[in-house]
Structure 1
Amino acid sequence: MQPFHLTATGYNLNYLPEYIALRHGFFREQGLDVTVNIPVPWDGVLDKLADGTADMALGGIWVPSMYRDRVKHYTVFAQIANRSPLAILRRGHSEGFKLADTAGKTVLMKSGGGASVGLFFKMLLRENGVDPRSVDYIQDLDGVMLGNLFQGGMGDYFITDNLSGLAMADRNRDVSVAMQMVTEGDVPWSVYYRETATITPELLDAQKRFCIALNKGIDWVLQHDAESFREELAELFPAVPVDVAVSVTNTFRAVGMWTSTSVSRKGFDRWQQGLTDARLVNTPLAYESIVDDGPASAAQTAA
């Protein structure tokens, strides 16, 4: 059994097919002993790659994008989350909400896990004709702290992950989910990558086998209504009401959170424009400059 260690930036429901692949032995079927750690703070994943203790990192593609030609080159070889797993919360009812409603208001956004929350929300505003500068932001605090402050009266809207947002609305009837951003189009939200200079033919073969197992995990989730594995969801996410976990999982299944391990070119180009507008990259990167679809493509052929 080949050790294959993953360092991840968090533990999220949008990574569910990976957790299923681990629990159901799909990686072991491919001869891989996959282990996972989550460094605190999250950017410790780069240290794990640099010192060789991790074979791959899981996180946002914005990190390899902004590091390229500035600090270090990373190559993305697979994707797990094809959509943004965020939600916008407001007080009162959610009927009739439009993104333009946030202009002139204060939006709370967690940032402890990286920049993705603000990057996606501001890109979505621009795509819908709203100037991000027309919104006030509070985003340099922990998500739990911001959630408590929002419920206590701070700000007008709160952006957090979908699962936490729905759980909050389930507990607090004064709060509602105004928008589930998973409906707002493709982006390579969460990807697997490692340092380009360290990639070898042997590693490419392991990446292909990893993708075969991960695709099997994706297919398993897509083929099973979440209600049929609610006990497994309860074990994976014990802090969340299981009915909420089932609901979010089925929403993700229905709208394209999980597709395949290949990074969508259309989603990639959209996200690169968003990163450019946010000044994280000077110009949008070309797909082939940062993504090697070889392992994911070979996995699909093998399957």
Structure 2
Amino acid sequence: MQTFHVSATGHSLNYLPEYIAVRQGFFAEEGLAVTASVPSPWDLVLSDIGSGSAAAALGGIWVPSMFFGRGKRYTPFAQVAARAPLAIVGREKPEDFDWQAMPGKVVAMKGSNGASVGLFTKLLMREHGIDPLAVGFVQDLDGKMLSDLFVGGMADYLVIDYPSAMTLAAAGGGHVVAPLPVTGGNVPWSVYYAEGESDEARLEAQTRFARALGRGMDWILAREAGEYRDFLAKTFPKFAPDLLVQLTNVYRANGMWTTPRIDPDAYARWQQGIADGHLTKAPIAYDDLIDARPTAAFAGE
């Protein structure tokens, strides 16, 4: 059995196919003993893959993009989440939410665990014809602090992870006016990447990993989430089990989990958002950044 350790930037519901593939023995059937850890601070994932203590980092594709051509080569080779697991919480009712009313408003969103939240929110604004410069942002605080401040009256909108947004709404702290797993469209939100280019041995292990991950996705998509409610509750104890079942079914129905292959069209969209956020000088061509070989079997799906 070959050890395959994943150093992840978080422990999230959108990573569920990996956890299911471990639980159901799909990785083991590929000869892989998959383990995971979440270092703090999160950017230690780069040290872990650089030292060889991890076979892959799991997080946002903006990191390999940002470093491309800047002294480090991080190579994405598979995807676990194809949509942003975020939500916009507002003070109005969902039916009254209007993107066009956002200029002049203030949006609070976490910035302490990476750039994805801000990049994606501003990408959506541009796609709706809104100049982000016309909107005020609070981005320098942590999620829990921002949530407490939003409930206390700071900002007009709050962008946080979808489970936390639904929990906040259930407690009367606001309304989920834009559930982005439903309305936000496709981007390669959470990807696995390694340092440098793969030799044959590493490529073969990544291919087996991607194959088992795909089986985890298929297993989830074939089953209503209530069937594995206890596993969800045990895996994500900070959230109510009924909410986890509800959100897993939302994710299942709206393309959060598709295949491990990084979709070129979704990639191009996200690259534009990353470049517009000034993390890169221009969008990076798919074949320049992505190693598509480990997921080649999924290309025809």
Please indicate, yes or no, whether the TM-score normalized by the shorter chain is above 0.5: yes
- 1:203 equivalent to 2:202? Answer yes
Report what 2:236 is aligned to: 237
Provide the alpha-carbon RMSD of the alignment.
1.4
- 1:165 equivalent to 2:185? Answer no
Report what 1:35 is aligned to: 35
Report what 2:248 is aligned to: 249
Give the TM-score normalised by the residue count of structure 1. 0.96
Alignment deviations for residues 229-283 of structure 1 (CA, whole Å, 9 cap, x no partner): 1111111111111121111111110010100000000000001111111111111
User: Residues 212 and 300 of structure 1 are in contact (CA less than 8 Å); yes or no, is this contact kept in structure 2?
Assistant: no
Amino acid at match of 2:239: V
- 1:264 equivalent to 2:256? Answer no
User: Residues 123 and 274 of structure 1 are in contact (CA less than 8 Å); yes or no, is this contact kept in structure 2?
Assistant: yes
- Shift in Å at residue 299 of structure 1? 6.6
Matched position secondary structure for 2:10 = coil
- Shift in Å at residue 71 of structure 1? 2.6
CA distance in 2, matches of 1:241, 1:102: 32
Amino acid at match of 1:19: Y
- Shift in Å at residue 124 of structure 1? 0.5
Report what 1:285 is aligned to: 284
User: Residues 106 and 136 of structure 1 are in contact (CA less than 8 Å); yes or no, is this contact kept in structure 2?
Assistant: yes
CA distance in 1, matches of 2:99, 2:20: 35
Matched position secondary structure for 1:188 = strand
Amino acid at match of 1:127: E
Matched position secondary structure for 1:11 = coil
Q: CA 1:89–1:241 in structure 2 vs 1: closer, same or farther (change >3 Å)?
A: same
Alignment deviations for residues 120-172 of structure 1 (CA, whole Å, 9 cap, x no partner): 00010001100101111111111011111111111111000111111111122
Alignment deviations for residues 82-105 of structure 1 (CA, whole Å, 9 cap, x no partner): 011110001242222122222111
User: Residues 89 and 157 of structure 1 are in contact (CA less than 8 Å); yes or no, is this contact kept in structure 2?
Assistant: yes
CA distance in 2, matches of 1:212, 1:258: 14
CA distance in 1, matches of 2:41, 2:91: 31
Give the TM-score normalised by the residue count of structure 2. 0.97
User: Residues 208 and 299 of structure 1 are in contact (CA less than 8 Å); yes or no, is this contact kept in structure 2?
Assistant: no
Report what 2:15 is aligned to: 15
Any unmatched runs of 5+ in structure 1?
none
Report what 2:133 is aligned to: 133
- 1:82 equivalent to 2:76? Answer no
Any unmatched runs of 5+ in structure 2?
none
CA distance in 1, matches of 2:147, 2:19: 26
CA distance in 2, matches of 1:217, 1:119: 29
Task: Report sequence identity in percent.
Answer: 49
User: Residues 261 and 298 of structure 2 are in contact (CA less than 8 Å); yes or no, is this contact kept in structure 1?
Assistant: no
Report what 1:274 is aligned to: 273
Report what 1:149 is aligned to: 149
Amino acid at match of 1:196: G
